[in-house]
Amino acid sequence: MKRSIGAGAAAGAFLLALALVPSPAFPVLYIDINAPGGKRMPIAVADCVVDPGDPSLSRGIPAILSADLALTDLFDLVPPTAHIETVTAAHFSGKPLSFPGWKMIGAEAVVIGNVSVRGGRLSIEMRLYDATRGTLLVGKRYTGTPTQLRSIVHRFANEIVFTFTGVRGVFGTEIAFTARPGKSRGKELYLVGMDGQDLRKVTANRSFNLFPRWSPDGQWLAYTSFRTGMPAVYLRNVSTGAEKEVVRTGGSKAPGGFSPDGVWLYAGVSQAGNSDIYRVRVVGGASEKVVVGWGLDVSPAPSPDGRRIAFVSDRGGSPQIYVKTIGVAGEARISTGAGYATSPSWSPAGDRIAYTVRSGGRFVVATVAPDGSGFREVASAPDGDCEDPSFSPDGRSLVYTYRKRGYSALKIISSDGRRQRTLVSGLADAGSPAWSPGR
C-alpha cells in the first residue's frame, strides 16, 4: 500500500506536530474510530468546478465521494441544498473560501474540486479544508483517463479518511467471489468494488472456479479450477488475465492464503483421501508440508505477520479452528470444539480471527482472539446462514455470504456487528468472498 508523497508529507508534519504536544493519548486524531456511535465529522462536499468537460461531473464527483464517505460511520454529510457558496476556479488560485459561511451550515470540513477533460485526458484537483481554521488539510492533483474517474475519487476519499483517523480508507478495494452465471451449472470468479459498483466476471470457462485468494500486492488471484476436468490451483493476474498453474498434484485442493511477503501460497491438498496443509513457493513451485496427520486439514489462513496460520481440522471428530506457529510442533484449537467451525480469516491487525460456526442449526460469523478467548458473534440471521467471512484491509469490516434456501447475497458488516449492508445480490450461489488488499 503506497502512500502518495503528498499525503505522506502532510501526515508526517501532522504527526510530528502532535509528537511535540504532551498528550497522554497520542496519537490524538480528529475522529476516534474505536468509539462506535461517537461524534461524527460534519463535512460538506461542494459542487466541482468543471472547465472544460461534461457539466454533470460538477455534481457527479461529489456524489461518488459522498457515497464513499457515507459507507463509513465517521462523517455527517451536509446536504448540497444547504450549500451557500459557489466554488469557482479562483478558489484554486489563491481566493479563500468563505469559511464562516460553511461553518454556518454546520460544516467542520469542506471538500472542493476542480476538473478538466481535455483530449481524453482527465485532470482533477481536490482539496480538503478545515472550515474552523480555514486551512488546507490535504490537496491532490490527479491526472488520468476519464475511465479512471471513479478510482481517482476513491483515492481522495481514502486521503480524507486518513487525514481524520490516521487509518487509510478502503475505497477502491474490491471483493473477489464465486457465483453461477445465468443458468449455468458451473461457477465463475467475479470481482466487485467494495461500494457494490463495477461488478464483473473474471473467468469464463464454464467449469467450477472456486476459492479466490488475493496475493498481498493485489495483482494476483489464486483459485481452484476444474477446467481441465480435474482440479488444479492457478494464479491469475487480475489486470492481464495471464495465468499459471501452481498446484497440480493430489486430489481435491484449495488455496487458503498467501504469506504476507507473497513468497508462499498455503493450500489444503488431499493425498489418498486425506487433506493436509502445504505451502508452495509461488515462484519455483517447491512445496512443503505444514500440517499433516489424521483428519481433514483445510482452509489455511496466514496471520498478518506470517508467523502463524489458522486452519480447519476435523481431527477431533468435527471441523474446528486450530492455530499453528509455522515451523513449531503443536497446534492449539481456538473454537469451542462443539458443532461445526470453518473458514478462518485473520484480521489485518492480527488480533482477531473470524470464522463460520454452526449455532442452533444456523451458520453464523463469529470472531475470536488468536488464543481462543473473547468469542463474539458478529453476523447472524434468524432465517438463513452467514458464512465465509473475510476482513477489509483496514480491519473495520467483514464481507460474508448470506444464504437462505435458494437465495444468496454478499453482505458487509462492521467488525462490531453494528452496521450492515448488502454488497451483491441477484447472482445465483454467490459465495467465497475475499477482500482485496488496500489500494
Partner 1 sequence: MKGTFTWKWAVLVLSVAALVATGCAKKQTVKSEGTQGDTGAASAPSVGEAPVKEAPPAPPPSDQFASAAQAGVAVTEEKPSQFDDVRFDFDKSELTEDGRRASQAVADYMKRNPKAKLQIEGHCDERGTAEYNLALGERRATAVLTYLVSLGVPKAALSTVSFGKEKPLDPDHNEGAWAKNRRAHFVLQ
Q: 188-207: which residues touch partner 1 (CB under 8 A)?
A: 202, 204-207
| Beta-bridge partner residues of 419 | none
Inter-helix orientation angle 149-165/5-20, to 10°: 10
Stretch that binds partner 1, among 1-9, 60-68, 364-372, 410-418 (CB under 8 A): 1-9
Burial 242-268, CB ≥16 within 10 A → b, else e: eeeebbeebeebbbbbbbeeeebbbbb
| Beta-bridge partner residues of 89 | none
Stretch that binds partner 1, among 55-63, 65-73, 231-239, 418-426 (CB under 8 A): 231-239
Query: Is residue 432 part of the contact set for partner 1 (CB under 8 A)?
Result: yes
Minimum distance, C-beta of residue 81 to partner 1, in the bound complex (Å):
25
Stretch that binds partner 1, among 45-53, 78-86, 247-255, 374-382 (CB under 8 A): 247-255
Handedness of CA 6, 54, 154, 77 (dihedral sign): positive
Rounded CA-CA distance 373/271 in Å is: 34
According to DSSP, residue 27 is labeled S
**Taking CB under 8 A as the criterion, which residues in 259-288 touch partner 1?**
262, 268, 270, 272-275
Minimum distance, C-beta of residue 237 to partner 1, in the bound complex (Å):
9
**Interface pick for partner 1 out of 79, 90, 118, 251 (rule CB under 8 A):** 251
Rounded CA-CA distance 106/129 in Å is: 14
Minimum distance, C-beta of residue 156 to partner 1, in the bound complex (Å):
9
Query: Is residue 183 part of the contact set for partner 1 (CB under 8 A)?
Result: no
Contact letters (x/-) for partner 1, 306-345, by CB under 8 A? ------x-x---xx--------------------x-xx--
Nearer to partner 1, 305 or 421 (CB): 305
**Taking CB under 8 A as the criterion, which residues in 115-174 touch partner 1?**
125, 127, 130, 132-137, 139-145, 147-148, 151-152, 155
Nearer to partner 1, 35 or 286 (CB): 35
Q: Tell me the DSSP string of 282-327.
A: TTT--EEEEE-SSS-EEEEEE-TTSSEEEEEE-TTSS-EEEEEETT
Stretch that binds partner 1, among 63-71, 82-90, 181-189, 414-422 (CB under 8 A): 181-189
- Pull the grid cell for residue 48: 466541482
**Interface pick for partner 1 out of 387, 394, 398, 427 (rule CB under 8 A):** 387
Minimum distance, C-beta of residue 122 to partner 1, in the bound complex (Å):
9
Rounded CA-CA distance 431/167 in Å is: 28
User: What is the total count of residues that contact partner 1 (CB under 8 A)?
Assistant: 104
Minimum distance, C-beta of residue 305 to partner 1, in the bound complex (Å):
17
| CB of 30 closer than 8 Å to CB of 164 | yes
**Interface pick for partner 1 out of 54, 55, 217, 349 (rule CB under 8 A):** 217
Per-residue CA distances from 276 to 174, 247, 266, 432 (Å): 30, 14, 11, 20
| CB of 265 closer than 8 Å to CB of 254 | no
Per-residue CA distances from 77 to 39, 67, 69, 133 (Å): 13, 10, 8, 19
Minimum distance, C-beta of residue 231 to partner 1, in the bound complex (Å):
7
**Interface pick for partner 1 out of 75, 266, 363, 435 (rule CB under 8 A):** 363
**Taking CB under 8 A as the criterion, which residues in 391-430 touch partner 1?**
405-406
Tally Cβ neighbours within 10 Å of residue 401.
28
Tally Cβ neighbours within 10 Å of residue 417.
17
Pick the closest to residue 201 from 434, 392, 34, 427 (CA basis): 427
Nearer to partner 1, 327 or 361 (CB): 361
Query: Is residue 97 part of the contact set for partner 1 (CB under 8 A)?
Result: no
DSSP reduced 3-state for 297: strand
Contact letters (x/-) for partner 1, 32-61, by CB under 8 A? x-xx-xxx----------------------
Stretch that binds partner 1, among 8-16, 45-53, 78-86, 95-103 (CB under 8 A): 8-16
Tell me: cis bond preceding 24? Omega within 30 of 0 counts. Answer: no
Query: Is residue 231 part of the contact set for partner 1 (CB under 8 A)?
Result: yes
Nearer to partner 1, 398 or 421 (CB): 398
| Beta-bridge partner residues of 117 | 122
Burial class of residue 40 (count of CB atoms within 10 Å of its CB; 0-12, 13-18, 19+): middle
